[in-house]
């Protein structure tokens, strides 16, 4: 496993977010992620994990606190947001592949439109990425013709095709049938060996144990515990973490 450098990629300080209906989803959540680091966020449902990582690429706004991603301070300036989104890839629970485009076109759409790269070159890279996630032969098919596991691997390849410096995973295996979880986790593990920065919201304990540099527990919109996996799972310092682990282990 590669070791993270000391350069900060994500720095979130005391982030607070209220939904329009008055519900407070984040109550001062803070997190720093270093370059090349793999951070797993765990926590009970409704604890604000997804909301938290969705603030990192401005899919959710927030009212208090500050977030800096790759040196860019997140503000309401639209150009600023587009700049961050180019550097941050996201993989969703529901894959969110574009059903009207072939697998290959799903990958090439953004690099061609946003990065203005020549189509032929992007296609070559896209095929290499599909090869890497093990579905090179499905390039001409449409997402609806693939299994859930294959779709999620395409979604990962699609995010990678933009050459992001950070990848966010929002419960990438929660919508998959059990037998397909492994193929997706293997791809993610393979990525973690590179020096791409990853923040993963997941319930997969094995993945957290063996792949993460750091595991974070969120509860009630706050970060409760941050520790190396070994410590997190065997000797957590907070009662709240112990209760959570009791429930899932």
Partner 1 sequence: MNALLRRLRAELFATPADGALSVALIMLLSLGAFGFLRWALTQAQWAVVKVNSTLFAVGRYPIEQQWRLWLLTALLVAASGATWGLLRAHPRPDRTGVLWPRNDRLALVLLALIALALPSALGLTLAIQTRWWGLLLLLALCRWLAGRFGANLSSTGRRLAALVWPLLYLVGMVLISGGLGLVTVSPSEWGGLLLTLLASSFAILLCFPIGVLLALGRRSELPLLRWGSVLYIEFIRGAPLITLLFLGQNILGFLLPGGLAPERVWRAAWVLTFFAAAYLAEAVRSGLAAVPRGQLEAARSLGLSYPKALQHVVLPQALRVALPAMVGQFISLLQDTTLLSLIGLLELLGTARTVMANPAFLGRNGEVYLTLAVLFWGCCAALGLSSRALERRLDPHAVPSAT
Residue numbers of the site for partner 1 (CB under 8 A)?
57, 59, 82, 85-86, 88-90, 92, 94, 96-100, 102, 109-110, 113-115, 140-145, 158-159, 162
Cα(245)–Cα(37) distance, integer angstroms: 23
Nearer Cβ to partner 1, position 52 or 92? 92
Q: Smallest distance, Å, CB 203 to partner 1?
A: 20
Nearer Cβ to partner 1, position 101 or 205? 101
Nearer Cβ to partner 1, position 73 or 193? 73
Nearer Cβ to partner 1, position 155 or 217? 155
Q: Smallest distance, Å, CB 119 to partner 1?
A: 10
Cα(192)–Cα(229) distance, integer angstroms: 15
Nearer Cβ to partner 1, position 167 or 224? 167
Q: Smallest distance, Å, CB 174 to partner 1?
A: 14
The backbone region for 221, taken as left when phi is positive above 0, alpha when psi lies in -120 to 50, beta otherwise, is: left
169 and 191 in contact (C-beta within 8 Å)? no
Q: Smallest distance, Å, CB 148 to partner 1?
A: 15
CB burial string 11-46: b at 16+ within 10 A, e below: bbeebebeeeeeeebbeebbbebbbbbbbbbbbbee
Q: Smallest distance, Å, CB 83 to partner 1?
A: 9
79 and 138 in contact (C-beta within 8 Å)? no
Q: Smallest distance, Å, CB 58 to partner 1?
A: 8
Nearer Cβ to partner 1, position 136 or 205? 136
Show contacts of 27-31: CB within 8 Å, 24+ apart: 27/220, 27/221, 27/222, 28/64, 28/65, 28/221, 28/222, 29/65, 29/218, 29/221, 29/222, 29/223, 30/65, 30/223, 31/216, 31/223, 31/226
């Amino acid at each position: 496993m590669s070791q993270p450098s000391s350069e900060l990629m994500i720095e979130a300080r005391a982030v607070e977010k209220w939904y329009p209906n008055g519900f407070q989803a984040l109550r001062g959540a803070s997190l720093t992620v270093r370059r090349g680091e793999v951070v797993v966020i765990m926590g009970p449902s409704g604890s604000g994990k997804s909301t938290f990582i969705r603030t990192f690429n401005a899919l959710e706004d927030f009212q208090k606190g500050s977030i800096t991603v790759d040196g860019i301070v997140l503000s309401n300036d639209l150009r600023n947001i587009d700049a961050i989104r180019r550097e941050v890839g996201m993989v969703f629970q529901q894959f969110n592949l574009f059903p009207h485009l072939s697998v290959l076109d799903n990958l090439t759409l953004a690099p061609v439109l946003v990065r203005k790269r020549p189509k032929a070159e992007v296609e070559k890279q896209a095929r290499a990425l599909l090869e890497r996630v093990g579905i090179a032969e499905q390039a001409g098919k449409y997402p609806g013709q693939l299994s859930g596991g294959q779709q999620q691997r395409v979604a990962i390849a699609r995010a990678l095709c933009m050459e992001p410096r950070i990848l966010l995973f929002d419960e990438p295996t929660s919508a998959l049938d059990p037998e397909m979880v492994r193929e997706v986790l293997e791809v993610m593990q393979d990525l973690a060996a590179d020096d791409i920065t990853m923040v993963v919201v997941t319930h997969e304990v094995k993945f957290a144990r063996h792949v993460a540099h750091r595991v974070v527990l969120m509860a009630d919109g706050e970060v409760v515990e941050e520790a190396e996996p070994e410590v997190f799972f065997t000797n957590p310092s907070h009662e709240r973490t112990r209760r959570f682990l009791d429930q899932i282990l």
